[in-house]
């Protein structure tokens, strides 16, 4: 394990997130775990059959006709986001209702 390479790589990742104005989803601990899994031959880079980019996948997963997460986001990703938004809306509505009740009293 090359700690120097890991910290440099992680710094680049953070810079990339900053430039593309996206929130980093990977913290340093998870990045370290990712590198260890690569070293242990648990993970590998698999080629997407649609966009031909390479993405992280399990070593023993199917290698042919696989599609990356960018081309086909997991269905629960959208649902979770939607559910979170709905929850926030419901909470906001509850807060407004509570405020109205408090005002009326
Ligand atoms: Zn793809």
Tell me how far the alpha carbon of residue 54 lies from the centroid of ligand 1, in angstroms: 8
Closest CA to 43 of 55, 56, 25: 56
- CA dist., res. 64 & res. 47, Å (int): 8
Radius of gyration of the chain (CA): 21
Residues with CB under 5 A from ligand 1 (ion): 48, 50-51, 68, 71
Q: What's the pLDDT score for residue 43? A: 92
Write down the pTM of the prediction.
0.55
Give the 3-state secondary structure of residue 25.
coil
What is the full per-residue pLDDT of the chain (105 aa) written as tens digits? Answer: 678 889 999 999 999 999 999 999 999 999 999 889 988 999 999 999 999 999 989 988 877 889 998 998 877 655 666 677 777 777 777 777 777 777 776
Tell me how far the alpha carbon of residue 82 lies from the centroid of ligand 1, in angstroms: 23
Q: What's the pLDDT score for residue 80? A: 67
């Amino acid at each position: 394990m090359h700690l120097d390479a890991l910290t440099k790589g992680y710094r680049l990742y953070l810079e990339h997130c900053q430039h593309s104005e996206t929130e980093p989803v990977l913290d340093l601990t998870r990045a370290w775990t990712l590198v260890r899994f690569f070293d242990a031959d648990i993970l590998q880079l698999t080629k997407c059959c649609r966009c031909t980019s390479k993405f992280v996948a399990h070593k023993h997963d199917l290698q042919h006709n696989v599609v990356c997460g960018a081309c086909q986001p997991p269905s629960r990703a959208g649902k979770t986001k939607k559910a979170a938004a709905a929850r926030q809306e419901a909470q906001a509505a509850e807060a407004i209702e509570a405020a109205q009740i408090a005002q009326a009293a």
